[in-house]
Amino acid sequence: MSRHATGLFSIAFFLHLLGASLMALALPGCNPIKREDPRLDFTKILPEGLQAQQVERLDTDSDGRLDWVLFYRYKAPGAQADQLSPIAAAVYHAEMPKDGKQLPEIVPYSLNPPDGRYLGENPCQARMADVITKNKGLEVVIESVNADGLVTDAAIFTWRGSKSAEETLPGYRCLGVFHAHGHIAINTDEVVVKEYAEDRSQLAVRRVYRPQNGTYLNEYDQLYPSIERNLEFAAGKPKDVAASPHPESIILAFYEDLNTDTALDYLSKSGRERLRRNELDLGAPWPRNRIKKALVLELRYDRSNTGKPETEVGVRVYFESVASEKSEIAELIWTCVQEDGFWKMDRSRRASEK
């Protein structure tokens, strides 16, 4: 992608295209770079095979002047004619001469993820935000948004304007890149990625990432491992989850509500009695009132349990206490029973037990 974005046009071509508008940039008291100029038409200057999308104006290098963030589509090698073209991006700077007497130079810089992938197939948008507080200034956040308004691809960049041991040339360095068949949320010092699972209960694998030393990428430009991983309901816990026809949904809801009274709604009458007598093994090393949260890693179940009065569901789960202690992973087999037409959790045993 970088060879498309860099060198897309020269200052000579810009002078031919813009004429007197560029000369106005050098005049005292005149700063048209802060307002839209319809004559800066990227649809007419991109090489054949690159299709300009939207252009956004942001101060991406914190120099007090707005830059042009150009998104464009290109044909991937070997792509079918009807295949959706991926989107790439470049930032164009109007670099002003120090003496103020020469014409400014319009210079493109690519926004390249290190994994060699595109920024997205769905429409992309750019914003400036302080998403990694260890770094000085704001980062450039690129998000690809699908028709449902969900972010499916995201990348974080920062401007490196001077030579250093890490960069040999000025440009934008990628600090994180994320892809998901689901949803990505970039927050301050945290990225949450939901990957939808092909599952009858409409579950998702949730991963939480935190930056290290100002970046989400290690020395090999790979993501640092997630600090937290668990299963959850893809669209949030349903209001009528207690009436779910799938016993694994009951178990997931139980662990999500473990330290609340709502957890009792998912237990059978005998299950609640076992819990009251402290005879129900939940997998935790602490009592419920000391558990901050339970994170389910895996659910295993018999998909042919329809119409059966009883079934077993395997679960791998670990816990975090109110004192931020983390437990070992527990593997349990839950026996669920039909009670009044609903699945209820009745009893459990360790997976190591026969």
pLDDT in tens, 65-109: 999 999 999 876 665 555 568 999 999 998 888 777 788 888 999
Angle CA 33–35–40, to nearest 5: 70
What type of residue is 103? Answer: L
Cα(145)–Cα(54) distance, integer angstroms: 14
Cα(110)–Cα(288) distance, integer angstroms: 52
Cα(183)–Cα(154) distance, integer angstroms: 10
User: 63 vs 66, 96, 163, CA distance in Å?
Assistant: 8, 11, 17
Decide: 296 and 315 in contact? Cβ < 8 Å. Answer: yes
Please give the pLDDT value at position 78: 60
Contacts of 63 (CB under 8 A, 6+ apart): none
User: 147 vs 121, 133, 317, 328, CA distance in Å?
Assistant: 11, 31, 34, 40
Coil, strand, or helix at residue 19? Answer: coil
pLDDT in tens, 291-337: 999 999 999 998 776 668 999 999 999 999 999 999 999 999 999 99
Instruction: Band the pLDDT of 44: cuts 50, 70, 90.
Output: confident
Please give the pLDDT value at position 32: 41
Instruction: Band the pLDDT of 28: cuts 50, 70, 90.
Output: very low
- For 149, other C-beta atoms within 10 Å of its C-beta total 7
Please give the pLDDT value at position 305: 63
Task: Please give the full DSSP string across 278-302, using - where no structure is assigned.
Answer: T----S-SS-GGGEEEEEEEEEEE-
What type of residue is 194? Answer: K
Cα(139)–Cα(122) distance, integer angstroms: 21
Q: What is the pTM of this model?
A: 0.81
